[in-house]
Amino acid sequence: MRVVYEAENIIDAHLVKGLLEQAGIVAFVLGEHLSGGIGELPTMGMVSVGVADSDAEGAAAALQDWRDAAPAASDAVAADLLPHPAT
């Protein structure tokens, strides 16, 4: 299993999971049940999207296509609303 996307929140993670599944890649949301511990656990970096090691390259390509299709911050979209890459 390889993490291909660090999500801002559970909704963000599920949107990316759906995007990957549309590309024919089986994806998993990791850490979504940890949100019940907010206040006791760190709030950042808890939720991510993972794929099988054999699908990592295809997932990276699908995510890059998605990022390339996103409007630029100069197109009246706040920079913090653009997709966040995995760290």
At 11-23, the pLDDT tens digits run 999 999 999 999 9
Fold of the 2-81 domain: Alpha-Beta Plaits (3.30.70)
- Torsion sign (Cα): 21, 25, 26, 28: negative
Domain boundaries of the chain, sorted by first residue: 2-81
Band (86; pLDDT cuts 50, 70, 90): low
Q: Rounded distance, CA 46 to CA 76, Å? A: 29
**Which token pair is 5?**
């996307």
**Residue 42 pLDDT grade (very low, low, confident, very high; cuts 50, 70, 90):** low
Which is higher by pLDDT, 33 or 43?
33
